[in-house]
Amino acid sequence: MATIDFNAEVEKRKDALMEDLFTLLRINSAEDKAHADAENPFGPGPRKALDAFLAIAQRDGYDTKNYDNYAGHFVYENGAANDAETLAIIGHLDVVPAGSGWDSDPFNPEIRNGNLYARGASDDKGPTMACYYGLKILKELDVKLSKKIRFIVGTNEETGWADMDYYFEHCELALPEFGFSPDAEFPIINGEKGNITEYLHFSGKNDGEVLLQSFTAGLAENMVPESATAVIVGAKGLTEQLDSFIEEYQDKGLRYDLVEDGATATITLYGKAAHGAMPEKGVNGATYLAHFLDRYNFNGGAAAFLRVASERLLEDHEGKKLGVAYVDDLMGNTSMNAGVWSFDASNGGTIALNFRFPQGNSPERMQTILQAIEGVEQVTLSAHVHTPHYVPMEDPLVSTLIHVYEKHTGLKGYETIIGGGTFGRLLKRGVAYGAMFEGEPDSMHQANEMKPVENLFKAAVIYAEAIYELAK
C-alpha cells in the first residue's frame, strides 16, 4: 500500500484522542482496598477505568473481553493467519494515589501552557491512549497485518500486579512472546532490575522518657513518602527544636506542622514525593522525621524503629548503610525506597523497603543482612518478586523500535536499564517503549503530574509506525 503519513493521521484524530483520554483521567483509579470486593477486586475506581476503556474499544469495533474486572483485552488480526505470531501491547489504567500539593484537581484534567495536568497523564493513561490511537489508525486505514495484535490493559500495576497474575491464569489464549508496554520512556527500556519489598518489623515496647504513640507515612511502596506524622508524649521545646532542624536541612525544603495538647504532640514533617524507582529525586519525609525524633530519649521498639531509620535510611538510596548495596556492570546499582511506615505502641512497627536490584543481588541475600541489624526483630518479603529482565539490543523487536524512534526524533537511540518495573517484563521478549521523551520533566508519582500535549501526539505517531513495522 502507499506510504502512510502517520503525522497527518494523528493530526486528524487529536481531538478524539484527547476526549477519550479525558474520560479515563476523570476516574480516580487508585487502588481502594477498603471498598474492594468480588466485583471490584482493587476497588471501584480501577474497575470503572477498565469499563471505560473497554467501552471505547467496543465503540471502535473491537471484540473486547473483561477478565472479572482484573484486566481486559481485545485482539486485532486484520489478515493474520490463525497460527500467526501475536504482538502484545500492555498498558495499565490504575494510578498511584493523588497525594497533596496539587495546583488543580488531579482528577479534573486541565491543559495549562501546553501541558496536560492530571493523575495518570504520564503514568499510564496518557501513553496507553496514545498507543491505542496508534493501533486505531491502522484499523481505520484497513492495513493488512501478518501478526495479530493483542492489546491488554491492567488495573493493579502500581500496587502488586495481581491483575496480570489473574489475567494470565485465566486467559484462554497463549501468552505472547514479544511486545512492549507504553509505560516508561523513549528511546527504549530493554532492561529492568528485579523488584522486591522487604519489611523490617520492630516490637511495640515503648517505656522511655518520651513515648512514641504512633508514626505513619507513605501512600504506596513505590512512592517516596512526601510527609510523615508522629504522635509523641513527653517531649519539651519542640517548636525551638523543629525550627533548628528545618534550618539545618534548609536545602531539602522541609516544613512542619505541630499541634500540642498538654504533653501530647502531633508532628507532621513534609518533604517531596517521587517515584520509588528514583528515590534520590524525592525528599523522604519519614526518614527526616525519624532523624529528628531520634534525638529524644525513646526506649525499646520505638527507639530501634527511629534509630534504624535515622542511622541507616536517611539520605541513603542504595542500601549502603544497611549493608545490602550491590552493583552489577550491566545493570548498575541496587536502589532502595523506604516507602510505607507504621508504628503504634500496641502492635509495634514496620518499615517497607522497596528494592530495585540488578542481576547478582537477590532478595534472600538482602533479607539475611537485614535480619542481623540490631533492633530489627524480623524481616519478611513481599509475596511478589520480579527477577531482573533484559532483552539485547540486537533483538529485532528492540532494533525495530529504536529505528522508528530515531526516524521521528532525529536522535540516536540507545539501550536503557531501569529500576522501575513495567509490564514489558511479563513477556519473554518484552520491553517498555515511551512515552516520556528525552528532556521531558518526569512528574510520575508526584504532585502536578503532567504530560506535554504535543508529546502525547508525537508518541501516538511513533506508536502507530512501530506497530505497523512490527506487524505489517
Active-site annotation holder among 157, 158, 318, 449: 157
Q: Over range 181-203, report the average pLDDT.
A: 96
Give pLDDT, residue 419.
83
Instruction: Name residue 283's beta-bridge partners.
Output: 272
Helix H, strand E, coil C: the string for 111-160 is EECCEEECCCCCCCHHHHHHHHHHHHHHHHCCCCCCCEEEEEEECCCCCC
Residues 260 and 271 in one domain: yes
- Catalytic hit among 20, 31, 94, 198: 94
Q: Are residues 377 and 392 in the same domain?
A: no
| pLDDT tens, position by position, 12-62 | 999 999 999 999 999 999 999 999 999 999 999 999 999 999 999 999 999
Is the Cα torsion angle 419, 99, 90, 143 positive or negative in sign?
negative
pLDDT tens per residue, range 294-328? 999 999 999 999 999 999 999 999 999 999 999 99
Same domain, 373 and 401: no
Contact 205, 303 (CB under 8 A): no
- Same domain (yes/no): 340, 234: yes
Q: Are 281 and 337 in contact (CB under 8 A)?
A: no
Q: Indicate if the pLDDT at residue 99 is higher than 80.
A: yes
- Pick the last residue of a domain from 381, 416, 450: 381
**19 in a domain, yes or no?**
yes
pLDDT-derived band of residue 81, with 50, 70 and 90 as boundaries?
Answer: confident
Residues 215 and 182 in one domain: no
Q: Are 212 and 340 found together in one domain? A: yes
Q: Indicate the residue among 381, 409, 442 that finishes a domain.
A: 381
For 65, phi then psi, to 5°, come to -140, 130
CA 173 – CA 243 distance, rounded (Å): 61
Let me know if residue 249 belongs to a domain.
yes
Cell match 481485545: residue?
Answer: 74
pLDDT of 370: 98
pLDDT, one tens digit per residue, over 233-243 is 999 999 999 99
Closest CA to 322 of 281, 282, 379, 284: 379
- Mind spelling out the 3-state secondary structure of 227-239? EEEEEEECCCCHH
Confidence of residue 104 (pLDDT cuts 50, 70, 90): very high
Total tally of structural domains belonging to the chain: 2
Provide the β-strand partners of residue 152.
73, 90
Mean pLDDT of 5-10: 98
Same domain, yes or no: 285 and 304: yes
pTM of the model: 0.77
Direct distance between the N- and C-terminal alpha carbons of the chain, in angstroms, rounded to an integer:
11
CATH number of the CATH domain containing 414 = 3.40.630.10
Residue 1 domain-assigned?
no
Do residues 186 and 206 both lie within one domain? Answer: no
Domain of 97 in residue numbering reads as 6-193+388-471
pLDDT digits (tens, 9 = 90+) for 364-412: 999 999 999 999 999 999 988 889 999 999 999 999 999 999 999 999 9
Q: What is the DSSP string of 176-222?
A: PSEEEESSEESS-B-EE-EEEEEEEEE-----SSSEEEEEEE-S-TT
205: pLDDT strictly greater than 90: no
Q: Does residue 229 share a domain with residue 167?
A: no
| Phi, psi for residue 235 in degrees, rounded to 5 | -85, 145
Report, as an integer, the average pLDDT of 272-282: 92
Query: Do 228 and 334 sit in the same domain of this protein?
Result: yes
Task: Tell me the pLDDT tens digit for each residue of 209-250.
Answer: 999 999 999 988 989 999 999 999 999 999 999 999 999 999
Residues 42 and 83 grouped into a single domain: yes
| pLDDT recorded at residue 314 | 97
Residue 87 placed within a domain:
yes
Residue type for 381, please?
L
Residues 92, 16, single domain; the answer is yes
Tell me if 335 is assigned to some domain: yes
> How big is the chain by its Cα radius of gyration, in Å?
24
Which of 424, 360, 361, 413 minimizes the C-alpha distance to 391?
Answer: 424
**What average pLDDT does the chain have?**
96
**Could you tell me the CA-to-CA distances from 164 to 8, 76, 161, 169, 417 in Å, in that order?**
35, 20, 6, 8, 22
Quote the pLDDT of residue 2: 67
For residue 272, what are the β-bridge partners? 283
| pLDDT exceeds cutoff 60 at 1 | no
In DSSP notation, 285-337 reads: HHHHHHHHHTTS---HHHHHHHHHIIIIITT-SSSTTTT---EETTTEE-EEE
Q: Which of 152, 133, 144 has its CA nearest to residue 87?
A: 152
Over residues 104-121, the mean pLDDT reads: 98
Tell me, yes or no, if 221 is annotated catalytic.
Answer: no
Give the domain CATH number at 248. 3.30.70.360
| 420 pLDDT more than 80 | no
Q: Is the pLDDT of residue 67 over 80?
A: yes
Identify which of 417, 313, 430, 399 has the alpha carbon closest to the alpha carbon of residue 359.
Answer: 417
406 is catalytic: no
- How many Cβ atoms sit within 10 Å of the Cβ of residue 108? 11
The residue among 381, 406, 436 that closes a domain is 381
pLDDT score of 349 more than 70: yes
